[in-house]
Amino acid sequence: MKWLSRKEEFVLIAVTCLAEDAYGVSIREYLTKNTGKYWSIGATYDVLDRLVRKDFLASISAEPTPERGGKSKRYYRVTHKGSRALTELRKMETALQVNGLKRVQRTGEIG
């Protein structure tokens, strides 16, 4: 499995949660709202492009609309590979947390 950066993980989660409404601006707004941190549109698209290159996301252009001056939105969806990467990441995080908690319970020490 290719490792995911934390930003890549957050973007994959956002795309999963937004489902059919996952396009650049909605993804950025979701991330800003749910992380409490500012996400620039450029940084968001940088991560989206990287995830498409890694085949964790697929993108498709919608039909152009008059409201957008004839421009189309690019929608994203998580691929099977991206879904597997998130699942494996969750398993690793859970194992690390469980092992850490066992150590704390056994020794009474944190760290």
The answer to whether the beta carbons of residues 76 and 15 sit under 8 Å apart is yes
pTM over 0.75? The answer is yes
Task: Determine whether domain 6-107 maps to CATH 3.30.390.30.
Answer: no
Please tell me the predicted confidence (pLDDT) of residue 105. Answer: 64
The structural domains of the chain, with segments of one domain joined by +, span 6-107
The letter for the amino acid at 78 is: V
Between CA 19 and CA 88, with CA 35 as vertex, the angle to 5 degrees is 60
The 10s digit of each residue's pLDDT in 3-51 is 899 999 999 999 999 999 999 999 999 999 999 999 999 999 999 999 9
CA distance 32 to 92: 26
The letter for the amino acid at 94 is: T
Q: Residue 106's pLDDT band (boundaries 50, 70, 90)?
A: low
Please tell me the predicted confidence (pLDDT) of residue 95. Answer: 85
Judge whether residue 69 has pLDDT over 90. no
